[in-house]
Chain A
Amino acid sequence: MTDIHKTIVVTGVGVVSPYGLGLDCLQAGMLSGKSCLVPTKDLYPGFEGTTAPVGELALLAKNFSSRHSRTDQLAAVAAGDAIANSGSDRSSFRESGIVMANTVGGLTEIDTGIAEDPAAWYRRPGGLLRGSSYPFAHVADAVGEHFGIRGPRCAISVACASGAMAIALAANMLLDGAASIILAGGSDPLCPFTLSGFNSLRALDPNPCSPFDQNRKGLNLGEGSAVLILETLAGASARNANILAVLRGWAMTNDAFHTTAPQQQGSGLADCIHLSMDMAEVSGDEIGYVNAHGTGTPLNDIAEANAYEAAFRGRNHPIPVSSTKSYFGHCLGAAGALEAAVTIMAVRAGALLPTLRLTDPIDSPGVDWLRGEVKRQPLPLAMSVSSGFGGSNTVLIFGSGRS
């Protein structure tokens, strides 16, 4: 029997993505098979590659000052969309918690001059304010201050698992009674610092990426933000909130293996999947779809395939898996939150999204690599998987709100 005080539900989803503003916009774009990956030049001098930018942010993010970075603005736009999507008045969220993830913080507002002569850089007009947006905690504050939310605030940064981990930790906070409603998600923009970093590691595919393909060549960076409104079923029912999905299980592990590479057998991720299913009290057979981390890098995808083989061994049918980074790139600290939103959308729409440009999948008999057309079928339970540098893994399991 469901314990309504221990059941975490999603009552709002806000998204700003390369498709535009809102979950509906994301859904329409993805179900039509549209890729947002575009040829990109001049994000820094000499850069030429493929990215998924969010356009016209300035039109969306009104009332921001120079002390708000692009990371802040993306987060606030997504949070505003989540509040609107929830159908509740903004005042309902005054005492809410905020758990926001990112990896870039205010690096978008800073250039190389800051390291060459910091004092001179800060004395430039707006220098101190731009510098003050650097800490990754600034994003949670920006959301809180923009909407007058004064509950507990927590910033998370665990590389590419950040957005998913924010949701997992927020769920724990709800069980602890730290707040009755929490806005949780992630935000990250395109930025020379991270583009240069991934380029230096030779991790970027110059063309649109092909996750899980035998001929994959790397990842594409994207940008965006997603924010979920989480609360207990008891709280949501008491205020008659619209329940979009149930967060059935969540787990976090670490590979304890390497700074950038995943453990090649995927054991840390497989453990994380097991733990999340254990919490959700479901078997591997009950998971209808996995929204994979699926970066398109040679090392990540093979480790992930191995993890699925291990975690879903004994299933009656291969586990359906796809990477939606093939649609809008890798959004770093926002990725886990955006993909949680995609997974909720998949559950609600009964849609198994294919990986785009997947022609020659990794040989992995226990996995049904989704490709081609969108598969339409009832989807009671789906899983969102995130991993990151430093070996962090987070798995979230979402179920239909109707159940």
Chain B
Amino acid sequence: MTPKMTSNITPNTTQNVPDVAITGIGSVSPYGPLAGLIPQSPPEPTTITAWKTAGLRRAFLVPPFRPASVVPGLKTRRLDRLSAWALVASSLAIKDAGIDLNQVDRSRVAVVFATAFGCVDLTEAFYLSAAANGWNGTDPSTFPETLPSAPASHVSMFQGLRGPNVTVSNKYFAGETALIQAASLLRNRHADLAIVLAGDAIAPTLYSWYEVAGLLSPACYNSDALPQAGGFIPSEGIAALVMQRSGSSDVRSEARAYARIGSGRWAAGGEAAKIIQQMLGDSVPSLTVCSGNGAPCATSPTSALARQISGDGAAIILPQAFALGLAGTGALFHLILGLSGKLGGELRIRPGNGQALLLATAADNGFAALGLELP
């Protein structure tokens, strides 16, 4: 059957009208699987026990849980952990949004997933099977699950979503890229609803890279060291958002909006402040949610840029260590943490000004920015 057709492509000519709303949140993180906002108490790194380490090694790890206990009927036995978490987080986000997919034209639902490293657990398993059995003796059931796009594919299969299914990345701004691409799919009428996910899992090959490169925080080796002591603490987890275009015919128009997303810009260089101010038009954000790239000093150039854009009086939410530990895919968690602080009442912004900015900078002058309107 041919899916319902929409009108021809309409370019986004009203860059500053926030016509895309975030209506659902789900996550699998060191807090465990959660629907909706995240508690404000920061998690502690935990000891790695999944593989043999040379002494104490810690990271922000997802506590073990049975996916089927969170999403009844979910089968994840042969899947990479990242795929299993994507299924859980997306289900929680859809539930949080109050959406009954049976009432939605699923050919108009997109899935956009951001990852830096993809399915590293099963990629390692595939290499180990080649080491053990030779390249002619590898496991056929593992190979397709090693693809970076496997988690997004499983979300589409499990939920029956037949719209665009996209897996994106960017060294520093993978999460922001997913948000911007999802908004683009909605605005350009390729979908009415989008499930946006971003995250990664820690495996021995990944953790060892950071360790051999000398990037790990003292808190990774010493349980008495504070996560704030500096250095990088690797994190794992997936955040999921439900995004929908205002006025889309098949989706509830009365849905609660955590935030509305305006325009977004990202680049590998250039005059960040000028480009972002141009993007924002006349509005001056009273709140900036700083995202980051995982580098130890990510915070201060981002804060400086935020002040350049919004002035000294604007509130700034600094990155939390666990979201920074996700490197390029932490943006969705940064955003959720920012919303959790704002909507939980811990943060005050200028009365009558709900304009906010999700902002990240990178060591090489790159930046990513999304204009937000908060309720």
Interface centre among B148, B174, B328 (most CB of A within 10 A): B148
Q: How many residues of A contact B (CB 8 A)?
A: 84
Question: How many Å from the CB of A102 to the closest CB on chain B?
Answer: 10
Considering the complex, give the chain B residue whose CB is closest to the CB of A259: B144
A392 and B150 alpha carbons, distance in the complex (Å): 11
Stretch at the interface among B220-228, B243-251, B260-268, B307-315: B260-268
**Which residues from chain B contact A201 at a C-beta distance below 8 Å?**
140, 143-144
B149 close to A (CB within 8 Å): yes
Closest-by-CB residue of B relative to A151 is: B267
Q: Nearest chain A CB to B200's CB is how many angstroms away?
A: 10
CB distance from B154 to the nearest CB of A (A): 8
* Alpha-carbon distance between A189 and B124 when the two chains are bound, in angstroms: 20
Question: Which of chain B's residues have a CB closer than 8 A to the CB of A132?
Answer: 209
- Name the B residues within 8 Å of A138 (CB-CB): 171
Once the chains bind, are B143 and A154 in contact (CB under 8 Å)? no
Task: Judge if B353 is at the interface, Cβ distance under 8 Å.
Answer: no
Contacts A152-B267, A200-B139 given; does A5 touch B11 at CB 8 Å: yes
B-contact bits for A172-200, CB 8 A (1 contact / 0 none): 11011110000000000000110111111
CB distance from B275 to the nearest CB of A (A): 10
Question: Measured between C-beta atoms, what is the minimum distance from B81 to chain A in Å?
Answer: 16
Given contacts A137-B116, A149-B268, contact A158 B149 (CB under 8 A): yes
Q: Tell me the A140-192 residues at the B interface (CB within 8 Å).
A: 140-141, 144, 149-159, 165, 169, 172-173, 175-178, 192
Nearest A-chain residue to B213, judged by Cβ: A128
- Whether the pair A259, B153 counts as a contact (CB closer than 8 A) is yes
Closest B residue to A43 by beta carbon equals B135
CA distance A197 to B150 in the complex (A): 15
Does A223 sit within 8 A of B, measured CB to CB? no
**Complex: A274 Cα to B127 Cα, angstroms:** 41
B202 to chain A, nearest CB (A): 12
- Name, among B15, B139, B171, the residue most crowded by chain A CB atoms within 10 Å (CB to CB): B171
Identify whether the interface residues of B are mostly helix, strand, loop, or mixed: mixed
What mask results when residues 366 to 403 of chain A are scored 1 for a CB within 8 Å of chain B, else 0?
A: 00000000000000000000001111100000000000
Flag whether B118 is at the interface (Cβ < 8 A). yes
Residue of A nearest to B152 (CB): A390
Interface: B169 (CB within 8 A): yes
B117 touches A128 (CB 8 A): no
- Whether the pair B143, A197 counts as a contact (CB closer than 8 A) is yes
Extra pairs beyond A172-B190, A198-B143 (16, CB < 8 Å): A45-B135, A103-B148, A150-B365, A154-B168, A154-B169, A158-B165, A169-B166, A196-B136, A200-B139, A201-B143, A202-B140, A253-B107, A279-B8, A390-B149, A390-B152, A390-B165
Binary A-proximity of B84-117 (CB < 8 A = 1, otherwise 0): 0000000000000000000000110001000011
Task: List, sorted by A's number, 7 A–B pairs whose CB atoms are closer than 8 Å.
Answer: A5-B11, A152-B265, A153-B267, A176-B11, A197-B146, A198-B143, A271-B107
The answer to whether B8 and A118 touch across the interface, beta carbons within 8 angstroms, is no
Q: A47-B136, A196-B138, A390-B152 are in contact. Are A153 and B268 (CB under 8 A)?
A: yes
Interface residue? A28 (CB, 8 A)? no
